[in-house]
Structure 1
């Protein structure tokens, strides 16, 4: 694994190249580094403001990361007109490089630290939609039950785990914690964390999957009563029926 010193040297090389590139007119750190919350394992999130042909700059930087820094792989995530290219370097160094048109160089959240250039005011990224999350909760619970009826154990486990992920997101939203990728899960109250532990699937048997689904639906129902009480009145009885009707019986 990389050392802190290796990561710091890498950041210095990235910034030096950005400052020397005539097509890069701005740079900013985002993520934990920008917020002063980085630790031994933090990766590097750097946004570059590109003037002119963005694809050409993107490919030029990609060649440099492979030829000079020994990149092993990369993949892309598109955000509007910007491209986040995620690189894996030796020793498990990860770099998330965002190449943004000059007009879209600016913070969309609080975790932003400008190194050089002029950031523009941009709309923040929207929070996950609560109604969509509630829809995913009942949808995943239903499909988990259907998979149990069909004896599709792996697929049932998939839906149960996804159901747990979404209820964590809903709880994070209610508490005002970061909701993406369970980044705020460790900040949730202890009683909620304790209630989530039995939702883990321990083996691929019908009995265990039914138990885990019932435990997960229990957490879902409790969270709905806290965050969406009007919907809980309508959905809780149906969710209860879903997990308390014996397999093979009509729901």
Structure 2
């Protein structure tokens, strides 16, 4: 694994190259490092403001990361008119480089530190939609139960795990914690974290999958009662149908 010194030297090289690149008119750190909350394991999130067409700059930087820094792989995420290119370097060094048009160079959240250039006010990222999350909860619970009935154990485990992830997101959204990628999960109350532990699938049997699903639905129901009590009342009888009757596989 990379050392802190290796990561810090890499950041210095990235900034030096950005300052020397005529097409780069701004640079900013995002993520935990931008607000002084990084630790020994933090990766590097750097936004580059590009003047003109992104493609030549993107290709030039990609070649440099492979030829000079030994990149092993990369993949892309689109964000607005920009591209987040995620690189893996030796020693498991991860670099998330955002190449953004200069008109889209600015913070969309609190984790932002401009190094040079002029940032612009931008609309913040849209938080997860509560109605969509609720829909995913009942959808995943239903499909988990169906998979148990069909003896599709791995698929049932998949839906139960996904159900757990969405209830964590919903709880983080309700409490005002970071909701994406379980980034606020460690901030959840102890009683909720303890309840979530019971949702883990311990073996691929009908009985255990039914138990885990019942435990997960219990957490879902309790969270819905906090999030939208009237909706929890409407859905409770339906959730009970999924969990009160044992699967046919061991009735």
TM-score (structure 1 length as normaliser): 0.98
Distance, in Å, in 1 between the alignment partners of 2:234 and 2:134 is 12
Aligned counterpart, 1:21: 21
Deviating beyond 3 angstroms after TM superposition, the runs of 4 or more aligned structure 1 residues are none
Aligned counterpart, 1:133: 133
2:248 aligns to what SS in structure 1?
A: coil
Aligned counterpart, 1:217: 217
Distance, in Å, in 2 between the alignment partners of 1:163 and 1:209 is 13
The question of whether the paired residues in 1 share the 8 Å contact of 2:143 and 2:156 is answered with yes
Shift of 1:246: 2.4
Does residue 109 of structure 1 match 2:109?
Answer: yes
Distance, in Å, in 2 between the alignment partners of 1:238 and 1:63 is 55
2:37 aligns to what SS in structure 1?
A: coil
Does residue 48 of structure 1 match 2:78?
Answer: no
Does residue 189 of structure 1 match 2:189?
Answer: yes
The question of whether the paired residues in 1 share the 8 Å contact of 2:28 and 2:113 is answered with yes
Once the two structures are superposed, what CA deviation does each residue of 1:212-242 show, in whole Å capped at 9, x if it has no partner? 0000000000000011101001001110111
Cα RMSD over matched residues?
0.8
* Structure 1: segments with no counterpart, 5+ residues: none
Once the two structures are superposed, what CA deviation does each residue of 1:167-216 show, in whole Å capped at 9, x if it has no partner? 00000111111000101001000000000001001111111111100000
Distance, in Å, in 1 between the alignment partners of 2:56 and 2:196 is 47
Does residue 164 of structure 1 match 2:164?
Answer: yes
Shift of 1:248: 3.1
Distance, in Å, in 1 between the alignment partners of 2:60 and 2:244 is 59
Aligned counterpart, 2:122: 122
Aligned counterpart, 1:76: 76
Distance, in Å, in 2 between the alignment partners of 1:103 and 1:80 is 11
Distance, in Å, in 2 between the alignment partners of 1:50 and 1:204 is 51
1:138 aligns to what SS in structure 2?
A: helix
Structural mapping, 1:1-16, within 5 Å: 1-16=1-16
1:106 aligns to what SS in structure 2?
A: coil
Distance, in Å, in 1 between the alignment partners of 2:121 and 2:183 is 25
Distance, in Å, in 2 between the alignment partners of 1:53 and 1:158 is 42
Does residue 235 of structure 1 match 2:227?
Answer: no
Distance, in Å, in 2 between the alignment partners of 1:111 and 1:143 is 37
Once the two structures are superposed, what CA deviation does each residue of 1:147-183 show, in whole Å capped at 9, x if it has no partner? 0111100000000000000000000111111000101
Residue-pair matches, total? 249
2:25 aligns to what SS in structure 1?
A: strand
1:199 aligns to what SS in structure 2?
A: coil
